[in-house]
Amino acid sequence: MKSIFTRSTALAAVLGGALMLQGCVVGAVVGTAGAVVGGTVKATGAVVGAGVDAVTTSDEETRAKREREQREYEREQRRCEQRQRQGRDC
């Protein structure tokens, strides 16, 4: 009888702990995978940094893009005005 109670208690503790630690386990797995990759590949930091750089946009890049788009828009407007003076549609 004592064995059944002990097993039931242990099972309840394991299941309860598993439910509470699901996020921790996922984080640990991801962290371990990152550590394995970082340990085996020396350039991981550079690659990850380059990937983050490629995804993020600095204020200077955003401003340059807006200015480039504005110049393209103004260029297209001038072309349209020239076509209209020549009697053609834009």
| pLDDT of res. 6 | 80
Closest CA to 90 of 80, 76, 82: 80
Taking only the tens place, the pLDDT of each residue in 5-62 is: 787 787 777 767 676 767 665 566 557 666 655 555 555 566 666 666 667 789 999 9
On whether the CB atoms of residues 48 and 55 are closer than 8 A, the answer is no
**Residues 84 and 73 placed together within one structural domain of the fold:** yes
**Residues 20 and 43 placed together within one structural domain of the fold:** yes
**Residues 17 and 45 placed together within one structural domain of the fold:** yes
Q: How many domains does the chain have?
A: 2
Taking only the tens place, the pLDDT of each residue in 55-89 is: 778 999 999 999 999 999 999 999 999 999 999 98
Helices 2-20 and 22-40, packing angle to 10 deg: 60
**Residues 22 and 37 placed together within one structural domain of the fold:** yes
For the beta carbon of residue 1, count every other beta carbon within 10 angstroms: 5
On whether the CB atoms of residues 48 and 58 are closer than 8 A, the answer is no
Closest CA to 80 of 72, 67, 70, 89: 89
Which domain, by its residues, includes 68? 57-90
**Residues 62 and 42 placed together within one structural domain of the fold:** no
**Residues 47 and 72 placed together within one structural domain of the fold:** no
**What is the reported pTM?**
0.38
**Residues 83 and 64 placed together within one structural domain of the fold:** yes
**Residues 27 and 2 placed together within one structural domain of the fold:** yes
**Residues 51 and 63 placed together within one structural domain of the fold:** no
- Report the alpha-carbon distance of residue 48 to residue 52 in Å, rounded: 6
**Residues 4 and 47 placed together within one structural domain of the fold:** yes
